[in-house]
Amino acid sequence: MGSKGILLILAGVLVAYYVYSPIPYDIEERWKLMVTDSFFRSLSNLAEISELLGLKHYMGVMMFLTVAEEVVPASDDSVKVTDALFYDVPVVVYEPKRKTNGELNRAVIFIHGGGWCLGSARMGPYDLLSRRTAKELNAVVVSVDYRLAPAYHFPVQFDDVYNVVKYIVQDHLLSQYSVDVNRIAVSGDSAGGNLAAAVAQQLQEDPEVQVDLKAQVLLYPALQALDMNTPSYQQNEHMPILPKTLMVRFWSEYFTSDLSLFHAMMSNSHNSLESAHLLKFVNWSVFLPEIFRLKYNYTMPSRKSSDPSETISSITDPRASPLLVDDVKLQVLPKAYILTCEYDVLRDDGVMYATRLRRAGVQVTLEHFKDGFHGAMMLTTWPTSFEVGHRMVNSYIKWLDNNL
């Protein structure tokens, strides 16, 4: 064998070594996920180097994921698509063209994910999901393009989405789009699920809003920033697509660009005396069914001395961490569909919220995908799309059709 052959073999071994990652055997299409994850890891490594050299912020490089997926949403035979500004916030509106014999339309307000730092309503996967929702449900879909970190920190993202929802439920806008005021849902994935849950809560306390949402749909949502050591965070610390380091970076960047918070959250030492009384709401030894606790034992997150800073007040704000509201405020919420994945650091957030909502008397459908992983729904337009992602989308559409 010549030197070229040896070099080719070595190159192949190195590529295989880099692409390979330990994927649980429960996940189908494991090699496909390894290849997809190698792209994400490469981009993340490039972002870290760029930030270390002072060339570009970490999220600035990661934004490539958004830019590369952006499309120009256009009308087709079934759906009319228009760009609009609702309360000065950009949105994409999807209206079904099928006639309803005089019946008013259902409406879904969709909030994209991306860790409050990435993503856009104009990304291919979100455009496809909104378009399909509008067509199959004969519903008006409003997909929100809220502002992102690090240029804007909490509560800007929440405020943008909340203002859009308040704008939509005004009489003249409902009339313009022929929307039934009693059949409106708010929905979102990941960070969008966080915003959807927070909006549903805060609407109940707003005296200016006389409309009740029919449903809240939370797709593998992030719901609390107090405990970064739940069983799902431990089990899936190195899971592809959304490892713990990336999710914690999203959380910390949502609040501040000061990396000291990121390091504190990574070690679960970011709580203070101001947040200590809220830890009972995210105590997974109480709210997680036994099947999700696995081999892990609960340890209350450490609490440092008093921290009156704006950052800790943001972390404990229920608009950022919807799991932190008391049961009385949960009781008045609309019925919920919560989708969780076994191989996702955010799994336990969704499961705990489902438990607390049920105990508060709210109708909840918890759809748990034992072979699912974070982001699978939004990979359906990739060459390496996943069958489990298509099943998630189908389940989401079916539940909305039956419950909205």
Catalytic center residues: 190, 344, 374
- Contact 123/112 with Cβ under 8 angstroms? yes
One-character DSSP codes across 52-80: HTTSS-HHHHHTHHHHHHB------SSEE
Report the alpha-carbon angle 195-56-123, nearest 5.
Answer: 40
Report the distance separating Cα 235 and Cα 244, nearest Å.
10
Nearby residues of 185 by Cβ (< 8 Å), 6 or more positions away:
106, 107, 108, 109, 213, 214, 215, 216, 217, 334, 400, 404
User: Which strands form 215-219's sheet, in the order they lie side by side?
Assistant: 79-86, 89-96, 139-144, 105-111, 179-189, 215-219, 335-343, 364-373
Sign of CA dihedral 82, 403, 284, 234: negative
Distance CA 214, CA 232 (A): 30
Question: CA-to-CA distance for 328 and 307, rounded, in angstroms?
Answer: 28
CB 149 within 8 A of CB 73: no
For residue 150, is the peptide bond before it cis, meaning its omega torsion is within 30 degrees of 0?
A: yes
Helix-then-strand count for the chain, H and E: 18, 8
Q: What is the token pair recorded at 362?
A: 């709210």
Pairing of β 179-189 and β 139-144 = unpaired
In the structure encoding, which two tokens stand for residue 208, read together?
A: 């200016």
Q: Is the dihedral of CA 300, 306, 307, 313 positive or negative?
A: positive
Q: Which residues pair with 79 in a beta bridge?
A: 96
Crossing angle of helices 124-137 and 387-403, in 10° steps, is: 40
